[in-house]
Amino acid sequence: MTDVETAVAASTVDLHKTYGSGDSEVRALDGVTLDLHAGQFTAVMGPSGSGKSTLMHCLAALNAPTSGKAVVDGVDLSTLNDTRLTTLRRERIGFVFQAFNLIPTLTARENILLPLSLAGRRPDEAWFDTVIDAVGLRDRLGHRPSELSGGQQQRVACARALVSKPRIVFADEPTGNLDSTSSGEILAFLRRSVDEFGQTVVMVTHDAVAASYCDRVVFLADGRVVDELADPDREQVLEHMAALQSAAMNLVD
Amino acid sequence: MLRLTLRNLLARKVRLVMSALAIVLGVAFLSGVLIFSHGLSNTFDNIIKGSTPDAVVRPIGTESFGQSAPSTLTVTPADVSRLADLPEVAAADGSVDGTGLFLLDGAGKLVGGQGAPTLAFNHAGSVNMLGEPILELRDGRWPEQPEEVLLDHNAADRGGYHVGDQVRVIAPNGDLSRTLSLVGTADFNGGGTAGAVLVIFSTPGAQQMFLGGRDAFTSVNLTAADGVSQARLVAAAKTVLPDGFTAVTGDTVVDQSQDAIGQFLGVISTFLLVFAIIAVIVGGFIIVNTFSILVAQRTRELALVRALGASRRQVTGSVLIEALVTGLVATTVGVALGLALARGLAALFRQFGLDIAASSLTLTPRTIVLSYVVGVLVTLVAAYLPARRAAKVPPVAAMRADLVPKERSLRRRTLIGAVVLLLGAAIAVAGLFDPPGNDAAWIGVGAVLWILTVAAISAALGHPVLVVCRSVFRRLFGTPGQLAGENALRDPRRTGATASALMIGLALVSLIGVLAASLNSSVDDLVDEQFNADFVVQSVAFTPFSTGVGDKLEHVPGVGIMSRQQFLAAKLGGVDGSSTFIAANDDRFSRIYDLDVRSGRTTLQPGEAFVSKDAADKHHWRVGSRFTLSFPGGGTLTPTVVGVIEPSQVAGQINISLDDLESVGVQRQDSSVSIRLAQGADAATVQRALAKVVEPLPIVNVQDKDDFRDSVRGQVNQLLYMIYGLLALAIVIAVIGIVNTLGLSVLERTRELGLLRAIGLTRRQLRRMVTLESVAIAVLGAVLGMVLGLVFGVLLRQALSDDLTSLGLPLGQLVVFLVIAVVVGVLAAVIPAVRASRLDVLRAIATE
Ligand SMILES: Nc1ncnc2c1ncn2[C@@H]1O[C@H](COP(=O)(O)OP(=O)(O)OP(=O)(O)O)[C@@H](O)[C@H]1O
Ligand SMILES: [Mg+2]
């Protein structure tokens, strides 16, 4: 029992999120129940507008669900006020967004250490070194974001997400703006963080190649979990996506 | 294009309201001052016109409302009837004007305070040039008996008196403290008395009070017979005038009075206007800044419009139209607010005893036109630079992700600025080495150059200050502090421009502070050096008082030497010469005061004078020179200069012998009585005894050296605080500028703020971050302003070193200013910080 609980880094129970009301009502999430296992690299996939980002935001304490429960590291998010939520994000959650991840006035190093310094915590130097070496940024630490390439910027964002040793890292299309080489570097790094450091990572992606780096793929459509795959490879992912696509087509017909 | 402009206006209404507010306040102050000045001169015009008859017979060289000393010359009832018998004269009313009488309220306090004068005269039933009675009875009846008196009804109200009450007054001579019975109140024809207290006697009553009971008059009011012009009336009157008297037309009296009052009112109006102009200029700075930011934020949109085919001129025009609408709306609101402000100013001046009728505070076409011209013009001029920059946005910018900041032009600007700064410094320093013209003016030009240049290159100059702010914030407040510092540094132009508005205010405040501190310390030095009396007895408002006071003081046990001094106005040269203040000292003056003599001596025999170095320089006098002084009634003196002294607090510019004064027919009064203790007398005991003598006279008090110094300092400080109060408006406007810039910056950084919130910046930390950025801007403005103010304060003091002999630095005040700047920063950040912390994190992240 205890083992099972610790094995779940975050979970949702019957999560609903509705925008608007009446005719313009949009059910972004329509009853999502999902466990995200610790030490796993999970991909969330689905057509545009299927609710992937909404799900992430609800799990990451950035958005409040209309109903249902979101639990991170054993804490029910609905019980926390804004300050506690902020602290939770700072200490137990790491983020990588698609773009605009960094504060332009701070150096790479300062950006990486930002969650820690906001909390007034000292970085664990050894861990910092490990992370920096893993993303290969040692010689770029003094640079400002405007002096870094897009791929380097995303690597800085990844390093920042990991440096506070969060319980779970959420990445919303982290490679969406990158070429395949840079994407590969980022994905390899996330993979390594799961394998070597035991990190839990959840990533939204549209890219079957990216999904193939993961341990598990969850498919969303119309705000619901419709399918999932364990230890996927690229072909499997593409098949499933095609199936989803045609299901959607049939629905339209 | 026009529709696009108007849509823009609406879309940015909050921003525009904020920047318009800067103009609103500036224009409100300007129009308020104009309305107030107009009301002020209106009030006095009414008074003058309402109280002036067709012609007046009066001693040669006197002017109503002028500051001429009261003459002892009088006319007899026979003279009056000779005038009355002239066919051109319908009525000749002998009038008795008295000075040195004061009305006290029930508690023994002076009615009317120290501002407006107390005017005492007889009820002669004269009519003014319009044929209206000068006074109209309101309550009770006119005084008939010597012990009866009538007050203007405002004075009665202020004193808390009703008809039938016993009224307390200070008489000019004899038994100083008296009570009279109030038999009536009257309205003054001119509308209000501007705060002056009118005390009306019967003719015998006034003669008893002011002329020792002689049946005589100090002047005669003439009313022309039907169809007789003022000129003919005067010509006729001149044929029967006694010696020493002249007749002047009512029109001349009105002109002279308006001139005299106009000068005084002009000083007040100009003084206020200076601050209004400063406020408008600061408002202009804020407009420049707001429009620059708005244009910068719209670069992409403007580029798109250009790419779609809009010409440069159209883009400039659209920004200017935006400014025009802003200026028009802001000015309209400002003028309306100005009316309220004028009322406020009037209420403030009422505190000082200057009562302005609310009905005269009206909008004149001139005020309206001037306000609109200034308000709209300043807005347009201020928006022109940003508008030109907007037009320069190349169409390709629509396609580029972000525009590269123009580092080069900043460097060029800084370079040019440095050159101008050097130029300004050279001009200012030249002011110290006796250049042609006014030293202070040179320094003033240098100061204006510096202020404008520093404002223009504040981006570069501010850098070190901001870097210090950043590291202090970082140490004190951790990462939010550092982020705030970085934010202040990221757009140095914007931070600098915003800070400049505050800089102007603080530069002026510190400059004035240095001058005031120097004045105080110079006064201290002078008092230490020259206050050789043990006590000085003076009236609070420097109004002269009865010689009876001195007579009593002289007999207080313990008084060793007592010297009397009378300050008065006389004309230099003939009767038409320029009016100047002189001091007349008795022969004991030089025994008490050890003046700093340049040449000659300060002991005066009749027919001798000593003068200050300034007066000597101005009139080219040396020991042995002679000059002529004319007094009311035509008396003249031609004293010989026997000494030249350094500037002095206790002596006048021109000092003559008191004995001479008595011989030229000036009414003797004392302005200052100095007392040296007798050998072995106890100072405290004597002071108590002296105070007891002047106790019934609330206008006169006994001061020792410390009291004297404090009273002079008190006057300096009163003026200082008034100036600070007026400059506060410029600072309020600067605060609006900070609010505006911060608001725009927060808007611009929505995404970044969202990111910070997502990765763990709490609301509180976010508010602190915005607040600290605001504090950084405010501190930058304060530091730049204080440095400028200090530099030019010191230079100006040097240029004025003849009067400001010692330099004083208001270090304590500077610290207070810095603290105030921090508070200002915190206050300015309240709204932007709250708005930033209310940002929806998700929305912020999602912003495209
Ligand atoms: N703030 C909002 N207000 C109204 N509707 C919203 C809002 N945010 C999201 N939605 C709607 O909710 C649904 C889910 O949006 P979401 O952003 O989660 O989709 P997504 O799966 O991340 O899509 P994409 O792959 O394009 O990023 C969409 O239909 C979207 O229009
Ligand atoms: Mg999405």
- Give, for ligand 1, the residue of A52, A55, A241 to mutate: max count of ligand atoms closer than 8 Å to Cβ: A52
Residues B94 and B198 in one domain: yes
What is the pLDDT at residue B52?
Answer: 87
B chain contacts of residue A62, beta-carbon cutoff 8 Å: 758, 841-842, 845
Phi-psi group of A201: left, alpha or beta (phi > 0 → left; psi -120 to 50 → alpha; rest → beta): beta
3-state SS record for B30-60: HHHHHHHHHHHHHHHHHHHHHHCCCEEEEEC
The residue from B197, B214, B248 where one domain ends is B248
Q: Are B777 and B738 in contact (CB under 8 A)?
A: yes
What is the pLDDT at residue B67?
Answer: 52
A chain contacts of residue B756, beta-carbon cutoff 8 Å: 103, 114
Is the pLDDT at A2 greater than 60, yes or no? no
Tell me how far the alpha carbon of residue A49 lies from the centroid of ligand 1, in angstroms. 5
Residues B588 and B720 in one domain: no
Number of domains in chain B: 3
What is the pLDDT at residue B784?
Answer: 92
Q: Mutate which of A54, A86, A97 to test chain B, going by most B C-beta atoms within 10 A? A: A86
Check CB contact of B480 with chain A, cutoff 8 Å.
Answer: yes
Residue B653: other Cβ atoms inside 10 A: 19
| Higher per-residue confidence, B284 vs B404 | B284
- Give, for ligand 1, the residue of A54, A97, A203, A245 to mutate: max count of ligand atoms closer than 8 Å to Cβ: A54
Residues B483 and B621 in one domain: no
Identify the closest residue of chain A to B749 by CA–CA distance: A103
Gap between the Cα atoms of B734 and B100, Å rounded: 48
Residue nearest to atom 28 of ligand 1 (CA): A49
B470 to chain A, closest Cα gap in Å: 12
B chain contacts of residue A60, beta-carbon cutoff 8 Å: 758
Most confident of A81-95, B381-395, B532-546: A81-95
**Using a 6 Å cutoff on CB, does residue A26 contact ligand 1?**
yes
Question: Has residue B149 been placed in a domain?
Answer: yes
Q: Which ligand is nearest to the CA of A57?
A: 1
Check CB contact of B751 with chain A, cutoff 8 Å.
Answer: yes
**Partner-chain residue, chosen from A87, A91, A118, that has the shortest CB–CB distance to B479:** A118
**Averaged over A183-211, what is the pLDDT?**
90
Check CB contact of B605 with chain A, cutoff 8 Å.
Answer: no
- Cβ B761–A118 below 8 Å, yes or no? yes
Gap between the Cα atoms of A8 and A38, Å rounded: 5
Residue nearest to atom 19 of ligand 1 (CA): A49
Output the CA torsion sign for B510, B514, B517, B520.
negative
The token duo for A219 is 């498919």
Gap between the Cα atoms of B425 and B430, Å rounded: 8
- Please, where are the H alpha helices in chain A? 2-7, 52-59, 82-92, 108-119, 125-135, 150-163, 180-197, 208-211, 234-252
Residues B121 and B180 in one domain: yes
What is the pLDDT at residue A42?
Answer: 93
Residues B515 and B624 in one domain: no
**Using a 6 Å cutoff on CB, does residue A52 contact ligand 1?**
yes
Provide the pairing of β-strand B535-539 with B636-637: unpaired
- Cβ A90–B759 below 8 Å, yes or no? yes
Residues B717 and B755 in one domain: yes
When the pLDDT of each residue in chain B is averaged and rounded to a whole number, the result is 84
- The β-bridge partners of A220 are A225
Closest CA relative to residue B769, chosen from B833, B843, B841: B833
pLDDT tens string B686-698: 989 888 888 877 7
Tell me how far the alpha carbon of residue B258 lies from the centroid of ligand 2, in angstroms. 79
Question: Has residue B392 been placed in a domain?
Answer: no
| Higher per-residue confidence, B431 vs A241 | A241
Extract the runs of DSSP E, i.e. beta strands, from B96-176: 97-98, 102-104, 118-122, 135-140, 148-152, 166-170
- A vs B, Cβ pairs < 8 A, gives 68
Closest CA relative to residue B287, chosen from B374, B380, B371: B380
Q: Are A131 and A159 in contact (CB under 8 A)?
A: yes
Q: Which ligand is nearest to the CA of A58?
A: 1
Gap between the Cα atoms of B289 and B740, Å rounded: 9
Gap between the Cα atoms of B96 and B83, Å rounded: 16
A chain contacts of residue B480, beta-carbon cutoff 8 Å: 118
Check CB contact of A100 with chain B, cutoff 8 Å.
Answer: yes
The token duo for A160 is 């920042």
Sort B225 into a burial class: Cβ within 10 Å, 0-12 / 13-18 / 19+.
middle
**Beta-carbon neighbours within 5 Å of ion ligand 2:** A 53
**Using a 6 Å cutoff on CB, does residue A49 contact ligand 1?**
yes
The token duo for A163 is 């440096």
Residues B111 and B175 in one domain: yes
| Dihedral Cα B265, B269, B271, B273, nearest 10 deg | -170
- The β-bridge partners of B572 are B578, B629
Closest CA relative to residue A238, chosen from A208, A197, A215: A208
Residues B618 and B641 in one domain: yes
DSSP string, A48-93: TTSSHHHHHHHHTTSS--SEEEEEETTEEGGG--HHHHHHHHHHHE
Q: What is the side-by-side order of every strand in the sheet holding A168-172?
A: A93-96, A168-172, A201-204, A41-45, A216-221, A224-230
Residues B164 and B198 in one domain: yes
Residue nearest to atom 6 of ligand 1 (CA): A19
- Percent of residues, chain B, with pLDDT higher than 90: 15
Closest approach atom of ligand 1 to CA B843: 1
What burial letters (b/e) apply to B623-641, b meaning 16+ CB within 10 Å?
Answer: bebebebbbbbbbebebeb
**Using a 6 Å cutoff on CB, does residue A2 contact ligand 1?**
no
Tell me how far the alpha carbon of residue A169 lies from the centroid of ligand 1, in angstroms. 21
What is the pLDDT at residue B2?
Answer: 63
Q: Which domain holds residue B692?
A: 535-703
Q: Are B181 and B199 in contact (CB under 8 A)?
A: no
Question: Has residue B638 been placed in a domain?
Answer: yes
| Higher per-residue confidence, B547 vs A5 | B547
Check CB contact of B837 with chain A, cutoff 8 Å.
Answer: no
The residue from B669, B703, B737 where one domain ends is B703
Check CB contact of B776 with chain A, cutoff 8 Å.
Answer: no
- Cβ A106–B759 below 8 Å, yes or no? no
Extract the runs of DSSP E, i.e. beta strands, from B405-464: none
The residue from B248, B265, B283 where one domain ends is B248
Check CB contact of B364 with chain A, cutoff 8 Å.
Answer: no
Closest CA relative to residue A117, chosen from B758, B763, B761: B761
Identify the closest residue of chain A to B480 by CA–CA distance: A118
B chain contacts of residue A106, beta-carbon cutoff 8 Å: 483, 486
Residues B695 and B725 in one domain: no
pLDDT tens string A14-37: 999 999 888 888 899 998 999 999
Question: Has residue B280 been placed in a domain?
Answer: no
Domain covering A3-104+166-252 in this structure, CATH number:
3.40.50.300
Sequence spans of domains, chain A: 3-104+166-252
B chain contacts of residue A170, beta-carbon cutoff 8 Å: none
Geometric angle at alpha carbon B428, from B424 and B434, rounded to 5°: 145
**Using a 6 Å cutoff on CB, does residue A50 contact ligand 1?**
yes
pLDDT tens string B621-639: 999 999 998 887 778 889 9
pLDDT tier for residue B190 given thresholds of 50, 70 and 90:
low
Amino acid at A65: P
- Give, for ligand 1, the residue of A12, A15, A19 to mutate: max count of ligand atoms closer than 8 Å to Cβ: A19
Gap between the Cα atoms of B25 and B54, Å rounded: 46
What is the pLDDT at residue B404?
Answer: 45
Residue nearest to atom 22 of ligand 1 (CA): A53
**Partner-chain residue, chosen from B760, B763, B845, that has the shortest CB–CB distance to A89:** B760
Check CB contact of B475 with chain A, cutoff 8 Å.
Answer: no
Check CB contact of B750 with chain A, cutoff 8 Å.
Answer: no
Q: Which ligand is nearest to the CA of A206?
A: 1
Residues B675 and B558 in one domain: yes
Between the alpha carbon of residue B620 and those of residues B570, B626, B627, B641, B659, the distances in Å are: 19, 11, 11, 11, 26
Tell me how far the alpha carbon of residue A104 lies from the centroid of ligand 1, in angstroms. 27
pLDDT tens string B550-608: 888 888 888 888 999 998 888 887 767 777 888 898 888 888 888 888 888 988 888 89
**Using a 6 Å cutoff on CB, does residue A53 contact ligand 1?**
yes
Q: Mutate which of B759, B772, B841, B848 to test chain A, going by most A C-beta atoms within 10 A? A: B759
**Using a 6 Å cutoff on CB, does residue A45 contact ligand 1?**
no
pLDDT tens string A96-141: 888 778 888 889 999 999 888 888 888 889 989 988 988 888 899 9
pLDDT tens string B717-737: 888 888 888 888 888 888 888
Question: Has residue B810 been placed in a domain?
Answer: yes
Sort B255 into a burial class: Cβ within 10 Å, 0-12 / 13-18 / 19+.
middle
**Partner-chain residue, chosen from A103, A118, A120, that has the shortest CB–CB distance to B752:** A103
- Cβ B762–A57 below 8 Å, yes or no? no
Check CB contact of B486 with chain A, cutoff 8 Å.
Answer: yes
pLDDT tens string B302-327: 777 777 777 888 888 888 888 888 88
Gap between the Cα atoms of B338 and B330, Å rounded: 12
Residues B557 and B675 in one domain: yes
**Partner-chain residue, chosen from A102, A104, A117, that has the shortest CB–CB distance to B478:** A117
What is the pLDDT at residue B514?
Answer: 92
**Averaged over B808-818, what is the pLDDT?**
89
A85 to chain B, closest Cα gap in Å: 9
**Partner-chain residue, chosen from A57, A105, A117, that has the shortest CB–CB distance to B487:** A105
